Amino acid sequence: MTSNIGNGNDPSQAGHSGHDHAEHPGMAHDEEAGYYAVRARAMESLLVEKGICSPNEIQTMVDRIEARSPADGAKVVARAWSDPAYKSRLLNDPDGALADLGYRMPENSPKLDVVENTESIHYLVVCTLCSCYPRNLLGRPPDWYKSLAYRSRAVVDPRGVMREFGFQVPDSTEVRVLDSTADLRYLVLPRRPDGTEGMSEEQLAELITRDSMIGVSEARSPQTATAS
């Protein structure tokens, strides 16, 4: 089903190409930078001028974020599905649990809260002001997540939004909408599908989509994954 808000499918998992116009000083930009691009460059210059960080440190962080994709979040969720002790730690100490898998959150980065979808409660994440998102685990947010349509409708009609992504939440399940902020980001731990007993973490990770970790859909069933 095609959503009026955006495409519910996972984006390309291609990593950062490493190609940057800055490597070619003689290359002019095709168009003027937009408001946010100019603002970002001004902030970067100020950080360097104040000695808070160097250009190399900024570029390293940009490259690190660009290299992330939903596959990283899926790896974490798959471990939680497979290891009850790890799941407990992930829910209670996200930073420590992520560090166990090699995902160390940068100093002074927004707090990450991990919430678990169950039979009785389903979480859906939105950023009503802009596009706050756990980029360190999921990469860049999809365009629909940043759209005004999603940001407004997810709050007033979350069940309707999820239906447009092909997911019908049972009436008996409580839906809670979580609003991400500059200081707090959320990762949804989707429910483990039935029929996945005995599957390896790698196989489980194939069932976990970006959208299920935002909460607009559920994880794929083994049958759906095989058919695709």
| One domain for residues 174 and 221 | yes
87 and 38 in a common domain: no
Q: Is residue 195 part of a domain?
A: yes
Q: Are 154 and 13 in contact (CB under 8 A)?
A: no
Is residue 215 a contact partner of residue 117, using CB atoms and an 8 Å limit?
yes
Do 83 and 45 lie in one domain? The reply is no
pTM: 0.74
Q: Which helix (H) or strand (E) holds 223?
A: helix 222-227
SS3 101: coil
Residue 5 lies in a domain: no
43 plus 75 within the same structural domain: no
Question: Same domain, yes or no, for 34 and 136?
Answer: no
Shared domain check, 186 and 101: yes
Cα within 13 Å of Cα(187), Cβ side: 31
pLDDT of residue 20: 37
Q: Is the pLDDT of residue 19 over 60?
A: no
Region of poorest pLDDT, from 24-38, 78-92, 187-201? 24-38
The yes-or-no verdict on residue 30 having pLDDT over 80 is no
Among 12-16, 145-149, 164-168, 170-174, which stretch is predicted with the lowest mean pLDDT? 12-16
Q: Which domain holds residue 182?
A: 70-227
The Cα 5–Cα 34 span in angstroms is: 24
Q: At what angle do helices 35-49 and 55-66 cross, to 10 degrees?
A: 130
The answer to the question of residue 10 being in a domain is: no
**Angstrom distance (rounded) from CA 112 to CA 93:** 9
pLDDT tens digits, one per residue of 93-103:
999 999 999 99
| 46-71 tens-digit pLDDT | 888 888 888 877 666 665 666 678 99
Asked whether residue 212 is assigned to any structural domain, the reply reads yes
Which of 10-19, 67-76, 178-187, 211-220 has the lowest average pLDDT?
10-19
Q: Are 77 and 40 contained in the same domain?
A: no
**Secondary structure of 130-180 in the HEC alphabet?**
CCCCCHHHHCCCCHHHHCHHHHHHHHHCHHHHHHHCCCCCCCCCEEEEEEC
For residues 145 and 80, membership in a common domain is answered with: yes
What is the tally of structural domains in the chain? 2
Residues 114-139 have pLDDT tens digits of 999 999 999 999 999 999 999 989 99
In a domain, 11, yes or no: no
Residue 25 pLDDT > 70, yes or no? no
Per the domain annotation, does 65 fall within a domain?
Answer: no
* Residue 94 belongs to a domain: yes
Give me the residues paired with residue 115 across strands.
188
User: Using N-to-C axis directions, what is the helix angle for 70-82 and 84-92, rounded to 10°?
Assistant: 120
Residues serving a catalytic function are: 127, 130-132
On the 0-12 / 13-18 / 19+ scale of CB atoms within 10 A, 225 is middle
Q: How many CA atoms lie within 13 A of 3 on its CB side?
A: 25
Say whether both 103 and 38 belong to one domain: no
- 39 and 97, same structural domain? no
Residue 223: which CATH number?
3.90.330.10
Do 39 and 100 belong together in one domain?
no
Residue 79: name the closest of 58, 55, 96, 97 by CA.
97
Task: Kindly tell me if the per-residue pLDDT of 1 is higher than 50.
Answer: no
Q: Say if residue 45 is in the same domain as residue 126.
A: no
What is the model's pLDDT at position 18? 33
